[in-house]
Amino acid sequence: MKIRDAILSYREMCDLENVQTLQRGMNFRLNPLYSVILMSQRTNAPYKDKIYDDGITIEYEGHDVSKKDYFHNPKTEDQVELLPSGNLTQNGRFINAVKEYKKGMQNPELIKVYEKIMNGVWSLKGIFELVDYKVVNDGRRNVFRFILKLTNLGNVENKKQTIEISQTRIIPTEVKKEVWKRDMGKCVLCGSKENLHFDHDLPYSRGGTSLSAKNVRLLCMKHNLQKSDKIE
């Protein structure tokens, strides 16, 4: 089963991760094998996440301090690594993973990335490696930006399967939104609204583009698996 570009409801996403709720955007080691982040590039998103032009790199903004009361605005305060107790925040845990990777003490932390496309619609972008971070001043305060690169692991639960990074350019969010609306949220071949995926009509590995809605369509799991990597 392909895991990248699967379309999920919020409930399905929680069930997939075996949790009751995913309230935090950053979830270090939610699973013993990987961490989980929720991202959004929508105009009203609370954080500034983006995908680089190379199509395989994500810049993910760290998270703010918790809101202390009704009048408190976390957006005026620097993002922090430590809680008042001295324990690591989620930012701090991700930063620590980067530092240990750069020291050669561990492999890059594996991150499962889910993106909110629109209300009620999420997409599994795939599995990424956490390779770096930086501190950026956004004009008001200092924020963390984490750098993630698409891994060549096809499935972290089953590491026997691998895929080539060159064949897996990320489908941009705006393309996914356009395809979802055009195909009316259902498989173009059978009309099913269950277990949907964004699929390249002409596979990326054979010259198809991820940058145009004309080459992307909605397929259910059955027809996605039947097609596999064949040109129809």
| Closest alpha carbon to 52 in 132, 117, 122, 124 | 132
CA dihedral sign of residues 133, 134, 137, 140: positive
Chain Cα centroid distance, residue 4: 9
| 199 within 8 A of 191, measured Cβ to Cβ | no
Chain Cα centroid distance, residue 219: 20
The domains of the chain, with CATH numbers, are: 6-163 (2.30.280.10), 171-232 (no CATH)
The predicted pLDDT at position 113 comes to: 94
Residue 224: Cβ-neighbour burial (10 angstroms; 0-12, 13-18, 19+): buried
For the segment 111-144, what is each residue's pLDDT rounded down to a tens digit? 999 999 988 899 988 899 999 999 999 999 999 9
CA-atom Rg of the chain in angstroms: 18
Taking the C-alpha atoms of residue 162 and residue 152, their distance in angstroms, rounded to an integer, is 6
pTM over 0.85: no
Which tokens in the block code for residue 82?
């430590």
For the segment 210-227, what is each residue's pLDDT rounded down to a tens digit? 888 999 999 998 888 887
The predicted pLDDT at position 163 comes to: 46
For residue 105, pLDDT over 70 is answered with yes
Three-class HEC string of 72-135:
CCHHHCCCCCECCCCCECHHHHHHHHHHHHHCCCCCCEEEEEEEEEECCEEEEEEEEEEEEEEE
Alpha helical stretches, state H, the chain: 10-16, 90-102, 173-182, 221-227
